[in-house]
Copies of this chain bind each other. A is one copy, B any other.
């Protein structure tokens, strides 16, 4: 059976869908501007759990994942929509009120206006479709497909925190009340989309490809490589592993694995030609490797030994 990713590729080919396959679809708006639009389906017990999340956390995360898609194209988010399938037992004012409050609190921060959506009851799980629209200067949306051999590979922030938080929630091995775990859990429950950084990078005009890290560094780098027809070599020592993750999970192989394959950090992963890297100096981004000519091959170098890296990706619960 096909994976979700394979299935989307299959449908894309079957119906010749040229606009599908990036973080957002890009549509013509006017002479100066393109419209970006992204939809994210969040499903109870796949993408969040009611036992772990306050309703406001779920509202926050629904918007954050879509803002992150706009950020990954270098766009400015403006409008949002929410379609909800609400289980009968959750259909109460307090729950939905807090959910919308979580959404609106983050929306206000980014100047995003709720313009529509739909609400239905369900006898199944709580399902949220989060839609965000934004704008980008005409022809300037940053796609996954522009990486070139020799480009340097960068990430923002630190990696593995959200996935470490998820592991902490899943297990009773670790004391959830400790401050460092609580920081990891916050990364899982209330991710911060890198909207400002995305806009800054777009304004520089030097980014050749970009994606947000939702599935995990290895999987999302593989998406860039596949779209660009290139390969990548990353340096294990350069991966900015979340310091709280290192403190909580002391096995260095485990923390590297989480940073490589854990998803939902919503940091930006992008490529820049070596001629242009000087312009990144003032930004909180780290170089982790180089684009290669070996189409679709990911490699990781550890202690000077390169070996093939298989995309591990985000594993659902």
Binding site for B on A (CB under 8 A): 1-2, 4, 7-8, 10-11, 14-15, 17, 19-20, 24-25, 27, 29-31, 35, 37-47, 79, 81, 83-85, 91-93, 96-97, 100, 104, 113-125, 127, 129, 131, 133, 316
Contact = CB atoms under 8 A, between A and B. Distances in A.
A10 to B, nearest CB: 8
B122 A46 contact: yes
Contacts of A133: 27, 37
Given A10-B93, A11-B96, A118-B129, 9 more contacts: A1-B91, A20-B115, A24-B116, A27-B115, A39-B131, A41-B129, A46-B122, A81-B131, A85-B127
B31 A316 contact: no
- How many identical chains are in the complex? 2
A11 B122 contact: no
Contacts of A122: 43-46, 124-125, 127
A120 B47 contact: yes
Contacts of A11: 96, 100
Contacts of A46: 120-123
Contacts of A40: 83, 118
Given A11-B100, A39-B129, A20 B114 contact: yes
A30 B125 CA distance: 40
Q: Which 7 A-B pairs have the closest CB atoms?
A: A124-B124, A124-B125, A30-B30, A129-B129, A25-B115, A25-B116, A19-B115
A42 B46 CA distance: 19
Given A11-B100, A124-B127, A127-B124, A41 B118 contact: yes
A104 B12 CA distance: 12
A2 B45 CA distance: 26
Contact of A123 (B35, B117, B125): B125
B41 A85 contact: yes
A15 B83 contact: no
Contacts of A127: 41, 85, 122, 124, 127
B7 A119 contact: yes
B39 A116 contact: yes
A15 B116 CA distance: 12
Nearest to A32: B30
